[in-house]
C-alpha cells in the first residue's frame, strides 16, 4: 500500500460551526439515557420486559462511545464538550421521573422521540460524517416498536390508562420543549445549523409529537 493511501482524510476531521455543541449535547443525552433506562428497568413487571429495557440501556452506552470516539478524532475532550449541557438535561430528567412501568415506557417513546426529532433537525445541516453518526445513534425502530406496542396494549386493556398517560405525555413534551428552547438560546451555533428552518422547528416537533401520540392511542 502506498504512503499516500495511508494518510488520514483531513476533510473528515474538520470541525464545522455547531458540530461541537451538537455532538456534546447528544453524547451527554446518550450517557444520561443509559443511567435512566437502567434504573427504569427495575419498574418492569416481569423479567422479559426488564431485559428489554436493559438492552436498550446497553445500546445507549454504545452510542455514547461512538460519539466520544468522534469527538476524540476532532481533538475534543468528551467530558468538556458535554459539560455545558449537563444542567439542562438533568433538569429535564428530574422533572420527568417516571413512577411506574407505563410512565417509563411513555417517556422512552414520547420524550426520547421528540428529542430525536430535534437532533435530526439540527444534524440535517452538518457534514455527511457527523450527520451519519447522529442518525446512526438515534433510537432503533425495534425499541420504538416495543414501547409503542406495550402502550397500545395497556390502553386497550384499561381505557383509564389513556387519560393518565396522555397527561403524562403532555408534561413530557412541555418539559422537553422548554429545555430545547433553553439549549437553543444558550448555544447560538446550534440555531445557526437550523438555518431558515429554525423558526418552524417547534411547529414540526409538535406535529411529530402529535403523530406519535396518535400511534399509541393517546390524546394530544
Delineate the domains of the chain, giving CATH numbers in brackets.
17-215 (1.20.1260.10)
Question: Phi, psi at residue 35, to the nearest 5°?
Answer: -60, -45
Q: What average pLDDT does range 8-31 have in this prediction?
A: 77
pLDDT, tens digit, 9 for 90 and up, residues 34-67: 998 899 899 999 999 999 889 888 988 999 999 9
pLDDT at 8: 36
| Cell numbers linked to 172 | 413530557
Calculate the average pLDDT of the chain: 86
Q: What average pLDDT does range 100-113 have in this prediction?
A: 91
For the cut 80, the answer to whether the pLDDT of residue 13 exceeds it is no
pLDDT at 7: 33
- Rounded distance between C-alpha atoms, residue 135 and residue 4, angstroms: 31
pLDDT, tens digit, 9 for 90 and up, residues 175-205: 988 888 888 888 888 877 876 666 677 788 8
pLDDT at 179: 86
For residue 10, CA distances in Å to 18, 73, 74, 131 come to: 18, 10, 10, 17
Burial class, 70, CB count within 10 angstroms (exposed 0-12 / middle 13-18 / buried 19+): buried
pLDDT at 68: 97
* Per-residue DSSP letter, 139: P
With beta carbons less than 8 A apart as the criterion, state whether 24 and 71 touch.
Answer: yes
- Rounded distance between C-alpha atoms, residue 8 and residue 78, angstroms: 21
Q: What average pLDDT does range 117-146 have in this prediction?
A: 86
Amino acid at each position: 500500500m502506498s504512503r499516500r493511501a495511508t494518510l488520514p482524510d483531513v476533510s473528515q476531521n474538520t470541525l464545522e460551526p455547531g458540530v461541537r455543541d451538537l455532538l456534546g449535547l447528544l453524547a451527554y443525552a446518550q450517557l444520561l439515557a443509559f443511567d435512566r433506562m437502567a434504573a427504569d428497568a427495575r419498574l418492569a413487571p416481569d423479567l422479559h420486559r426488564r431485559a428489554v429495557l436493559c438492552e436498550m440501556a446497553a445500546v445507549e452506552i454504545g452510542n455514547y462511545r461512538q460519539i466520544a470516539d468522534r469527538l476524540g478524532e476532532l481533538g475534543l475532550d468528551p467530558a468538556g464538550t458535554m459539560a455545558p449541557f449537563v444542567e439542562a438535561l438533568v433538569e429535564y430528567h428530574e422533572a420527568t421521573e417516571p413512577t411506574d412501568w407505563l410512565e417509563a415506557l411513555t417517556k422512552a417513546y414520547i420524550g426520547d422521540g421528540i428529542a430525536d426529532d430535534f437532533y435530526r433537525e439540527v444534524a440535517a445541516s452538518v457534514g455527511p460524517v457527523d450527520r451519519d453518526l447522529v442518525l446512526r445513534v438515534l433510537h432503533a425502530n425495534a425499541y420504538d416498536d416495543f414501547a409503542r406496542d406495550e402502550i397500545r396494549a395497556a390502553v386497550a386493556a384499561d381505557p383509564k390508562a389513556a387519560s393518565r398517560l396522555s397527561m403524562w405525555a403532555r408534561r413530557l413534551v412541555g418539559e422537553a420543549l422548554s429545555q430545547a428552547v433553553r439549549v437553543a438560546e444558550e448555544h447560538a451555533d446550534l440555531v445557526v445549523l437550523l438555518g431558515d428552518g429554525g423558526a418552524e422547528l417547534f411547529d414540526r416537533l409538535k406535529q411529530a409529537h402529535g403523530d406519535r401520540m396518535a400511534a399509541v392511542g393517546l390524546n394530544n
